[in-house]
Structure 1
Amino acid sequence: MNITKKDIDNLNAVLTVEISKDDYSDKVESILKNYRKNANIPGFRKGHVPMGMVKKQYGTAILVEEVNKLLQDNLHKYLTEEKLDVLGNPIPKNEKDVDWNEEDFTFEFDLGLAPQFDVDVKGKKAITHYKVVADDKMINNQVETIRKQYGKLIAKDTVEDGDEITGTFTLDEKDIDNPATFSTEDIKGKKQLKALKEAKIGDVVTLKTKGLFNDDHDNQKQLGVSHDDAHGLDIDVDFKVEEINTREMAELNQEFFDKLFGEGVVTSEEELKEKIKEDAEKQFAQQSDQKLLNDVVENLIENTKFDLPDEFLQRWIQVSGEKPMTEEEAKAEYERSEKGLRYQLIEGKIRNENEALQVSFDELKDHSKQMIKAQMAQFGNTNPSDEELDGIAARILSNEEEVKRMTEQLNTTKMLQYFKENAKLKEKEISYDDFIKEASK
């Protein structure tokens, strides 16, 4: 067997594979002899079928199968040994022209080659890393929300601002018969709110759904309609008032603090607010890090310039899936996936050039044990033994899907840390509301 490579340009090449009779004949003959021993053909005793008849019936199929095995095995071996960095898989050029009645065969394959490029992680323009802070307004609102959540419900006969109303929405024509509880603060429509405030327990109020709630999604939850129907819903529904309650907010005392955080962890309103701020900003940091990662990735894709074998990749997409695509479908799919492919190549180069970014088995094991400890702590087991952790971790690491998922998590964590240490960043302090506006741009 002989394999040669001819470069078309820097991104495209053709592999020619020459297979002679000597490469496959012994294997094909061996399989045919085995077929002859086991063939059941009317008129012949088992094992005495003429070889000519066996070859006529099975010879071509066996030849095709064995030659294809040789092709796949040796193509893979060649690409590995030559260290060719290819995109996609080799695409056969002349498979329809092969004459299987010949003894020697020549196959050609198109190759798409990965481009050569440099990655400048630092870049020229600084990328903003937001430090999201919980401001006084947010903290005070959270304190009020928690006090309401842990406060007492007091029954009432009439509705006032801030009250909770429980009842049932009905409309026979739309099959609406849905129990609901909401606050007057959830109501957007002034006329609807006025009608509810004038109602008493047992009254039935007709409400217009258009503009009823601050968020149209509440139509889905409170009226029991579909997500699609919830948006812009404009009908009249009946609402029977069954309960009216006001919430007496919980007192800011030690019993309340202990109920929230455990005995003695928080001892004053100031410490409560500091704890809320600390917990909130931990969550904000995760969101900020995700935006930073997205922004660095976008910046690298935009500023790392290299060409791709576009035509080859579109043809590969067209023929490589379970269901063949048209040229137009393949082109559209390529356009959708091109940015992802570009970053995959950029990230691969960064990882190959930085050994510390590789994920080791010990790191996977440590990561799985930390996850296990966190989960066990939720159920009250805060001090599991090393033997217990090792046993559970071993079971997790035997699951291929779990290993893949954890590897992706660690890869992302390592890349984020690498970008924090190497990219050109500028820190900006920002409120959560302003951060959300920035993130949605």
Structure 2
Amino acid sequence: MNITKKDIDSLNAVLTVEISKDDYAANVEKVLSNYRKNANIPGFRKGHIPMGMVKKQFGKAVLVEEVNKLLQDKLNTYLTEEKLDILGNPLPKNDADINWDSEDFSFEFELGLTPDFKVDLQKKATTSYKVVADKKMLDNQVKTIRKQYGKLISKKVVAKEDEITVTFTSEEKEINNKATFSTDVIKGKKQLDSLLGAKVGDVVTLKTKGLFNDDHDNQKYLGVSHDDAHGLDIEVTLTIEEINTREMAELNQELFDKLFGEGVVTSEKELKEKIKEDAERQFMQQSDQKLLNDVVETLIETTKFDLPSDFLKRWIKSTGESKLTEEEAKAEYERSEKGLRYQLIEGKLREENKSLQITFEELKSYANNMIKAQMMQFGQINPTDEEVEGITARIMSNKEEVEKLTEQLNTNKLLQFFKENAKLKTKEVTYEEFIKEAYA
């Protein structure tokens, strides 16, 4: 057997695998001998079938199977030993021209080679958002808490900031939905004016365009689908079922203890500090995800390399679950090209930076910490090492759980790596500014 590689260019090559009779003959004879021992053919005792008849009936199929097994085995061994980085799998080039009546065979395979490139994390700066809870947000949050824990008082007429229970109806969108909300979620001035002064039992017609502060509230309060919620522009009728106002709770120690536990917070100043701390911790999760996504986009944009696109389109066309046309294969390649580019970039980073590689002990430690955090959420503040180790062992024996944990740890490592090595420019913004700027 002989395998040779011919480079077409830096991204494409052809492998030729030559197989002679000596390479496969012994295996074919062995398989046919077993067929002879075990086959049931009418007119012959089991094990006494003439070998000539066995070869005539089974010889070609056995030959094809054994040659293909040998071919795949040697091909995989060659790729491993030569350390060839390929994209997709070897693509048979001349399989339709193979003459299975001959004794020697020559197989050709197209290869798509991984491009050679460098990743420069300092080429272009990415914005890293530091999201802070400003005074306006803190004051609003305190007000919300005081309302939430305040006393509900029934009213007869709707006024600003009242809490109303209504039923929305619309024949056009088949809406019939009961909802409770504060009038301060109403964005449209005309719509709000139509509600102010209304009484229980009144029916008000409102336009949904610009009705709420956020289009997602159409889904929440009107009961429409997520797709319908965006840009919804119809008329709905609103029947007022109930009107209430909230007498805000006093900022006293009883409220502080109810919110955070006895003695943790003792003043309005400490309350705002606690709210700020908790809010900014949540903001960091969002800004971190934004940073990760943006660095990935920056790397795809700035890391230039060619791909064996024609080979990949042919590979997609031939290996899909269903038969694809050239146009469909081209469209699928265009959809997946960006993801493939980032896979190669990330692979290069992991190969060159040991800090991005995951060891079993790191994964186990990550699982341990996650379990302890979850147990604390359920009130088990000081679980024993034995309890944690037992749960960890069960998780680590579950393949799906291990894959999920590995993906989470991979993401955490990448994020930390980018924070330490990518070119970043920090920008301090309020949460409202972050939403407008980051997701405009």
TM-score by length of 1: 0.93
Is residue 390 of structure 1 aligned with residue 389 of structure 2?
yes
* 1:127-165 deviation line (CA, Å, top 9, x unaligned): 332222111111111111222222221111221111111
How far did residue 244 of structure 1 move?
A: 0.9
How far did residue 38 of structure 1 move?
A: 2.4
1:64–1:147 Cα change, 3 Å: farther
Is residue 120 of structure 1 aligned with residue 138 of structure 2?
no
How far apart, in 2, do the equivalents of 1:60 and 1:25 lie? 12
Greater Cα offset, 430-439 or 86-95 = 430-439
* 1:4-23 deviation line (CA, Å, top 9, x unaligned): 11111111111111111222
* 1:202-225 deviation line (CA, Å, top 9, x unaligned): 334444445444444433333333
1:257–1:240 Cα change, 3 Å: same
Greater Cα offset, 417-426 or 356-365 = 417-426
Identity %: 75
1:264–1:213 Cα change, 3 Å: same
How far apart, in 2, do the equivalents of 1:345 and 1:238 lie? 55
How far apart, in 2, do the equivalents of 1:359 and 1:15 lie? 34
* 1:343-380 deviation line (CA, Å, top 9, x unaligned): 22222122112222210000100111111111111211
* 1:87-117 deviation line (CA, Å, top 9, x unaligned): 1111110011111111211100011111222
Amino acid at match of 1:102: S
Is residue 38 of structure 1 aligned with residue 58 of structure 2?
no
For 2:52, the equivalent position in structure 1 comes to 52
For 2:25, the equivalent position in structure 1 comes to 25
How far apart, in 2, do the equivalents of 1:205 and 1:288 lie? 41
For 2:104, the equivalent position in structure 1 comes to 104
For 2:5, the equivalent position in structure 1 comes to 5
Is residue 311 of structure 1 aligned with residue 315 of structure 2?
no
How far did residue 236 of structure 1 move?
A: 4.7
For 1:16, the equivalent position in structure 2 comes to 16
How far did residue 269 of structure 1 move?
A: 0.6
For 1:70, the equivalent position in structure 2 comes to 70
How far did residue 84 of structure 1 move?
A: 0.8
How far apart, in 2, do the equivalents of 1:163 and 1:127 lie? 44
How far apart, in 2, do the equivalents of 1:112 and 1:324 lie? 21
* Correspondences of 1:236-247 after superposition (within 5 Å): 236-247=235-246
Give unpaired runs (5+ residues) of structure 2.
none
1:217–1:433 Cα change, 3 Å: closer
1:422–1:382 Cα change, 3 Å: same
1:408–1:234 Cα change, 3 Å: closer
For 2:95, the equivalent position in structure 1 comes to 95
1:176–1:7 Cα change, 3 Å: closer
Contact 2:24 2:66 in 1 (8 A): yes
Amino acid at match of 1:82: E
How far apart, in 2, do the equivalents of 1:418 and 1:275 lie? 30
Greater Cα offset, 173-182 or 342-351 = 173-182
How far did residue 312 of structure 1 move?
A: 1.2
Query: Matched residue of 2:111: which SS?
Result: strand
1:147–1:398 Cα change, 3 Å: same
How far did residue 237 of structure 1 move?
A: 4.2
Greater Cα offset, 19-28 or 164-173 = 164-173
Give unpaired runs (5+ residues) of structure 1.
none
For 1:407, the equivalent position in structure 2 comes to 406
1:353–1:209 Cα change, 3 Å: closer
Q: How many pairs are equivalent?
A: 440
Query: Matched residue of 2:407: which SS?
Result: helix
Greater Cα offset, 224-233 or 81-90 = 224-233
* 1:399-432 deviation line (CA, Å, top 9, x unaligned): 2222222212222222222222222323222222
Amino acid at match of 1:61: A
Contact 2:159 2:197 in 1 (8 A): no
* 1:34-75 deviation line (CA, Å, top 9, x unaligned): 222222223333333332332233222222222221122111
TM-score by length of 2: 0.93
How far apart, in 2, do the equivalents of 1:77 and 1:108 lie? 16
* Correspondences of 1:278-427 after superposition (within 5 Å): 278-427=277-426
Query: Matched residue of 2:238: which SS?
Result: strand
